[in-house]
């Protein structure tokens, strides 16, 4: 064998073949080295120079939606592009199926490049002399979306290269999702979700067959086929896709015919703009799609009502409205300002959150705390008359006073003096602390401390915090923070007992059939509402807040800059809008059951006792009341050294009252139920006589029950007339003889001025009519006269 092998070698050498074969081997080795180097270089380049994916990872636009997905407001990204990320499963299947069938049938089978499609495109270009189709797969189109690639032969090679890289880096599903989110749809619109909202007004999950076909073809020529500018071109292009789906046997002929019936209408691109200030607030929470609790239908309706109301308001006014669902505290309506783009009305300022003086809107919480403290029941006798509380002298709207009123009446009429009286008894610090614990913080001026003015708007809070506190009246005394997103936690805080919350709601309850509600609500509200209005000092803020079993509605109207607006107040300005909003809400006609701790009873005035525990002669007036536990008595007189116990025992002989200076053996002891001193000027003649003391016997010495004050300057029953040659107001100078300290003068229940001691008071009679003049000194002693004026109006 060795010999044979040597012979073969020798033969090769003789023929010169050994050198030739060696050369071939070297060539082959060199080619192999080059190929390996190229492969290694390509591999290195493949992984060392990956495709740019910044756009995939970049944050897109932010879309804030209503609870049902309806867009509220969209915010473009930093490049000014509208793109809303969407998952593949949240896109209508019709769109995905049509996209794959029309653009890339072999998407799930090729490695990113379809050679047959490229050859077909080359053949078509050769025959026609122009580019008919690009032969690009969806992956190749994605590569062009990620970076600018020129439409040249080198550009096509780069596109193929990038497509292969993308196929290695991403799964087919991921690539399809990238396309869905980055595809161009004209102008600054990217992605099928943004295009669906912009052109069709709906999310991509709800696309019909025709709409899916339109959005599949649109990226091929987004400027030429934009449906908002060229609807007929867009429809022709869409029909081309529909025909292709039939030709590929993906759609039946009937399905295609049904799709073609839909017209591509020219729709102006108007960005969604519902609850814009809420959207601005929520976008900061992060995420590209932020779902809110807003009810889009109600929001639209209320914004229409706000625009209508705005036309009736002075310039520079704004409006804020918030509506919550009391069952879960979700915010259904949020109007932060009247017009976002109206700079004259400071439309960019969110008045739902702005700190403003609440006026009288805190009074229901105060009455609830007074109920829980056992100070009052729903019909407790309170006094609305000029009073001083350690130097603080509150007055009512229009300076008019009602005299003796029930707690319910005082709350409904928003009387200031009874509220300040209650606050002093409840405690200012306790009241403010209870509100703050419940989520309603009262902001005070620098270095200020809580004081009695809090109940009249002496602090500042927001509509949102007021809404949360008022929810306690529908939620068994639990206040809660309004929720803006479905995932927000429910934060509840104790404010009132279930019993007091229920009673206060009954005190505020207005039935649509009563005269005032019928006039203000104009038959609009279909459900009885418990509502309260408020007006801040100087007519700067008008409030109206209502509670039903299902909702809390809050309305604020005013100027954001705090400029006073005389004549604008809660009952006139804010309440009509609240009534219209209430009528827009769905209601279940029912009333919550009375809590077990509440009992209904009949009480007597002036003592405040239950009727069954009161002697008939001491029961001057009966009222049906709600109480928690024991029924509290009427408050004793405040700051009066002339008053005696409410049930006063005296000696009487005949028609006279006796005292120790003139006591007789045959005198009888009687007991008289007295009305509070400050209530007496307002009592009817019959009630006054039942409560009056008999005159002191002439032989008796004056005592503490005697009063010697009287009005001097006019006499009771006097007729005042201008002389025949004179017109205009009649002016009289009056004094309260025997008085001490500050004297307050009232004309027909309206405060007209005050004097000190027996100083003169000028009273002006501006019109004909009957006038009742009352003077009350700081001890509670009073005197009243009636006069008639004629000849002023002639």
Catalytic residues: 103, 360
Residue 517: strand, helix, or coil: helix
Sign of CA dihedral 564, 566, 572, 576: negative
Q: How far is CA 351 from CA 317, 347, 682, in A?
A: 11, 9, 42
Tokens of 528: 């009885």
Sign of CA dihedral 598, 599, 602, 606: negative
Q: Give per-residue burial for 32-52: e unless 16+ CB within 10 Å, then b.
A: eeeeeeeeeeeeeeeeeeebe
Residue 274: strand, helix, or coil: coil
Instruction: Report d(CA 184, CA 223) in Å as an integer.
Output: 10
Q: Which residues touch 742 (CB under 8 Å, ≥6 apart)?
A: 388, 754, 755, 756, 777, 778
Number of neighbours of residue 66 by Cβ within 10 angstroms: 22
Q: How far is CA 655 from CA 425, 651, 658, 667, 693, in A?
A: 39, 11, 10, 11, 10
Tokens of 124: 């078509």
Q: How far is CA 528 from CA 217, 334, 547, in A?
A: 55, 23, 9
> At CA 413, angle to CA 408 and CA 419, rounded to 5?
70
Calculate the CA dihedral of residues 554, 559, 562, 564 and round it to 10 degrees. -100
* Beta strands at 62-65 and 541-547: parallel, antiparallel or unpaired: unpaired
Number of neighbours of residue 704 by Cβ within 10 angstroms: 10
DSSP string over 435-497: HHHTT---B--TT----GGGGGT-SBB-HHHHHHHHGGGTTTTEEEPPBSSTTS---EEE-S-
Q: Which residue, among 669, 663, 658, has the nearest Cα to 694 in the 3D structure?
A: 658
- 404 forms beta bridges with 383
Q: Which residues touch 769 (CB under 8 Å, ≥6 apart)?
A: 788, 789
Q: Which residues touch 9 (CB under 8 Å, ≥6 apart)?
A: 18
Tokens of 536: 């801040």
DSSP state, 149? -
Sign of CA dihedral 536, 540, 546, 552: negative
Q: Which residue has the tokens 């914004």?
A: 303
């Amino acid at each position: 064998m060795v010999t044979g092998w040597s012979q073969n070698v020798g033969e090769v050498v003789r023929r010169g073949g050994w050198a030739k074969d060696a050369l071939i081997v070297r060539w082959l080795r060199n080619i192999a080295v080059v190929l390996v180097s190229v492969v290694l270089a390509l591999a290195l380049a493949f992984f060392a120079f990956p495709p740019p994916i910044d756009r995939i990872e970049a944050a897109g636009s932010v879309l804030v939606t209503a609870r049902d997905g309806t867009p509220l407001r969209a915010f473009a990204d930093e490049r000014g592009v509208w793109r809303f990320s969407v998952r593949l499963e949240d896109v209508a299947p019709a769109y995905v199926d049509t996209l794959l069938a029309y653009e890339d049938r072999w998407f799930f089978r090729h490695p990113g490049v379809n050679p047959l499609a490229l050859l077909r495109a080359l053949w078509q270009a050769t025959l026609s002399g122009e580019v008919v189709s690009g032969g690009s797969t969806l992956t190749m189109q994605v590569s062009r979306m990620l970076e600018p690639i020129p439409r040249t032969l080198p550009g096509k090679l780069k596109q193929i290269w990038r497509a292969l890289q993308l196929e290695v880096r991403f799964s087919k599903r991921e690539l399809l999702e990238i396309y869905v989110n980055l595809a161009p749809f004209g102008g600054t619109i990217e992605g099928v979700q943004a295009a669906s909202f912009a052109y069709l007004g709906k999310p991509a999950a709800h696309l019909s067959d025709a709409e899916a076909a339109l959005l599949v073809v649109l990226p091929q020529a987004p400027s030429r086929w934009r449906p908002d500018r060229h609807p007929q071109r867009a429809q022709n292009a869409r029909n081309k896709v529909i025909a292709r789906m039939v030709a590929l046997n993906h759609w039946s002929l009937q399905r295609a015919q049904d799709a073609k019936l839909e017209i591509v209408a020219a729709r102006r691109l108007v960005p969604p703009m519902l609850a814009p200030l809420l959207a601005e607030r929520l976008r900061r929470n992060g995420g590209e799609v932020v779902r809110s609790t807003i009810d889009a239908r109600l929001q639209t309706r209320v914004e229409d009502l706000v625009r209508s109301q705005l036309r009736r308001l002075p310039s520079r006014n704004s409006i804020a409205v918030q509506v919550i669902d009391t069952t879960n505290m979700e915010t259904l309506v949020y109007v932060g300002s009247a017009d976002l783009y109206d700079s004259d009305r400071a439309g960019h300022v969110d008045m739902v959150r702005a700190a403003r003086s609440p006026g009288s809107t805190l009074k229901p919480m105060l009455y609830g705390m007074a109920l829980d403290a056992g100070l009052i029941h729903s019909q407790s006798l309170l006094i609305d008359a000029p009073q001083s509380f350690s130097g603080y002298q509150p007055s009512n709207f229009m300076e008019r006073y009602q005299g003796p009123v029930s707690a319910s009446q005082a709350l409904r009429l928003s009387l200031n003096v009874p509220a300040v009286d209650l606050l002093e008894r409840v405690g200012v610090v306790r009241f403010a602390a209870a509100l703050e614990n419940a989520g309603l913080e009262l902001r005070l001026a620098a270095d200020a401390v809580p004081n009695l003015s809090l109940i009249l708007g002496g602090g500042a809070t927001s509509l949102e915090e007021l809404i949360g506190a008022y929810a306690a009246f529908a939620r068994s005394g639990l206040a809660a923070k309004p929720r803006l997103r479905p995932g927000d936690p429910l934060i509840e805080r104790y404010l009132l007992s279930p019993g007091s919350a229920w009673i206060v709601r009954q005190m505020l309850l207005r039935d649509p059939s009563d005269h005032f509600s019928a006039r203000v609500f104009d038959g609009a509200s279909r459900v009885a509402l418990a509502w309260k209005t408020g007006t801040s000092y100087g007519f700067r803020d008008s409030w109206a807040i209502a509670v039903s079993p299902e909702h809390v509605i809050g309305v604020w109207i005013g100027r954001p800059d705090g400029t006073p607006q005389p004549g604008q107040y809660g009952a006139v300005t804010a309440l009509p809008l609240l009534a219209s909003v209430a009528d827009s809400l769905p209601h279940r006609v029912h009333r919550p059951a009375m809590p077990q701790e509440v009992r209904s009873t009949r009480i007597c005035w002036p003592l405040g006792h239950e009727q069954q525990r009161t002697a008939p002669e001491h029961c001057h007036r009966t009222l049906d009341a709600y109480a928690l536990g024991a029924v509290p008595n009427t408050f004793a007189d405040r700051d009066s050294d002339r008053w005696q116990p409410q049930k006063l025992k005296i000696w009487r002989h005949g028609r006279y009252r006796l005292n120790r200076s003139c006591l007789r053996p045959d005198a009888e002891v009687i007991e008289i139920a007295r009305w509070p001193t400050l209530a007496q000027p307002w009592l009817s003649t019959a009630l006054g006589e039942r409560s009056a003391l008999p005159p002191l016997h002439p032989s008796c010495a004056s005592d503490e029950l005697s009063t010697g004050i009287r009005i001097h300057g006019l006499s009771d029953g006097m007729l005042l007339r201008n002389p025949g040659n004179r017109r205009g107001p009649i002016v009289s100078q009056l004094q309260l003889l025997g008085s001490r300290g500050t004297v307050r003068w009232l004309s027909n229940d309206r405060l007209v001025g005050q004097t000190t001691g027996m100083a003169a008071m000028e009273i002006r009679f501006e019109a004909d009519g009957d006038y009742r003049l009352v003077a009350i000194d700081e001890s509670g002693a009073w005197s009243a006269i009636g006069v008639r004026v004629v000849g002023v109006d002639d």
